[in-house]
Amino acid sequence: MAHIGVLAVQGAFARHADVLRALSHDVSLVRAARDFDTLEGLVLPGGESTVQLDLIGRFGLEVPLRELIARGVPVLATCAGLILLAKTVESPAQPSFGALDVDLTRNAWGRQLDSFEAQEDSEAGLPLIFIRAPRITRVGPTVEVLARYRGEPVLVRERNITAATFHPELSRDPRVHAAVFGVQARPASDHFASG
SS3 for 193? coil
Give the gyration radius of the chain's Cα atoms.
Answer: 16
Q: Give the domain 3-191 fold.
A: Rossmann fold (3.40.50)
Do the Cβ atoms of 183 and 24 come closer than 8 Å? yes
Catalytic site includes residue 169:
yes
* 186 secondary structure, DSSP code: P
Catalytic residue among 25, 79, 120, 158: 79
Catalytic residue flag (residue 3): no
110 touches 95 (CB < 8 A): no
Q: Of the residues 16, 25, 169, 177, which is catalytic?
A: 169
The pLDDT value recorded for residue 11 is 87
**DSSP per-residue codes, 159-176:** TTEEEESS-GGGSS--HH
CA atoms in the 13 A half-sphere facing the CB of 95: 9
Cα–Cα nearest to 131, from 153, 113, 156, 154: 113
Are the C-beta atoms of residues 135 and 152 closer than 8 Å to each other?
Answer: yes
User: Digits of tens for pLDDT over the chain (195 positions)?
Assistant: 689 999 999 988 999 999 999 999 999 999 999 999 999 999 999 999 999 999 999 999 999 999 999 999 999 999 999 999 999 999 889 999 999 999 999 877 766 666 889 999 999 889 999 998 999 999 999 999 999 999 999 999 999 999 999 999 999 899 999 999 998 755 443 432 333
pTM of the prediction? 0.91
Residue ranges per structural domain of the chain: 3-191
Helix (H, G, I), strand (E, B) or coil at 85: helix
pLDDT at 116 (0 to 100): 86
177 is catalytic: no
Catalytic, out of 16, 120, 158, 167: 167
